[in-house]
Amino acid sequence: MTRLPASQADGSENGRAGSIDAGHLLLVGVGPGLGLAIARRFAVGGYRVTLVARSTDRLDELARSLDDTSAEINTVEADASRPEDLRARMAQLYREEGAPAVVIYNAVLGSPDQLMSSTAAHLQEAYAVDVIGAIVVAQEAAAAMRAAGLGTVIVTGGGFADHPIPALATVSLGKAALRAAATMLAADLGPDGIRVATLTIAGQIVAGTAFDPAHIAERYWEIVQTDDPWPAEFRFTGE
């Protein structure tokens, strides 16, 4: 496991772009469920994996749990609720040689809430994590990916974008906005050879069911490996 050092980077895309490694996954928003399952699937598949989360202790624990894969696992501590902090760390990463060619944005502020009782500060924090962070990561990866003429970005969507739930207000808002953002990023970056899409998980993620994290992780793997033209949105329905 390697912990990448902190940076004072200014986040400007005008900085020097590093090279891209097609076998390097950047996973933003990793936890013990779906995030860890995705990391494991790509590590077993031979990828180098860089994990991003805001807790160093959790990052270290999750990275150690992947020791049995023998893959190179790097960690970056960054808080998606602070977009400029995230930008600085991503700017540093994408100025290095062998930067990730594959990005999966899996961060979400998923606690139950309702619009009528949410403060403006809470709404802003949720939007930063659920939507702005994905845009920031794409912005900072773009220069190196454009220089290489390749790159892959997948954002984790959810069925709440189709059927918003008042008791999960900010997640419902965030997933709808994230899908729109990914669609626009695909239009912006597609001409440069960079693929962007949403994978909408149309069900509740529960181990031992059709929506087991390992099953969903396999779908991410299949999408990344396909050479077929991408739609703006993929879906996982448990089948």
Report residue 72 as tokens.
Answer: 């190179």
What is the C-alpha separation between 75 and 60, in angstroms, rounded? 8
Q: In one letter, which amino acid is 59? A: L
pLDDT exceeds 90 at position 180: yes
Give 189's Cβ-side CA count (13 Å radius).
Answer: 30
The string of DSSP codes covering 78-93 is --TTSHHHHHHHHHHH
163: which DSSP letter? S
For residue 222, CA distances in Å to 43, 119, 140 come to: 14, 40, 25
Q: What is the pLDDT of residues 29-51, one digit of tens each?
A: 999 999 999 999 999 999 999 99
Element (H or E) spanning 120, and its range? helix 120-127
pLDDT digit string, tens, across residues 84-129: 999 999 999 999 999 999 999 999 998 899 999 999 999 999 999 9
81 vs 6, residue with greater confidence: 81
| Average confidence score pLDDT of the chain | 93
User: Which domains does the chain carry?
Assistant: 2-236 (3.40.50.720)
* pLDDT at residue 155 in the model: 98
Measured at the CA of 195, the angle between CA 234 and CA 41, to 5 degrees, comes to 65
CA-to-CA distance for 134 and 174, rounded, in angstroms?
11
pLDDT, position 2: 62
Cβ proximity of 79 and 102 under 8 Å: no
Which percentage of the chain shows pLDDT scores above 70?
Answer: 93
Answer whether residue 11 shows pLDDT above 70. no
- Residue 157: which of 181, 136, 141, 137 has the closest Cα? 181
Query: How much is the pLDDT for 137?
Result: 98
- The arithmetic mean of pLDDT across residues 136-152, rounded, is 97
Report, as an integer, the average pLDDT of 56-78.
Answer: 95
- Residue 177: other Cβ atoms inside 10 A: 17
The pLDDT of residue 179 is above 60: yes
The SS3 assignment for 221 reads helix
CA distance 158 to 174: 9
pLDDT at 7: 41
Percent of the chain past pLDDT 90, that is, above it, reads 89
From residue 66, how far is each of 19, 107, 215 by CA, in Å? 26, 20, 18
pLDDT (0 to 100) of residue 18: 83
Q: Does the pLDDT of residue 16 top 80, yes or no? A: no
Q: Which of 43, 67, 66, 63 is nearest to 53 (CA)?
A: 63
Q: What pLDDT, on the 0 to 100 scale, is given for residue 55? A: 86
* pLDDT given for residue 52 in this prediction: 97
- What are the tens digits of pLDDT across the range 191-206? 999 999 999 999 999 9
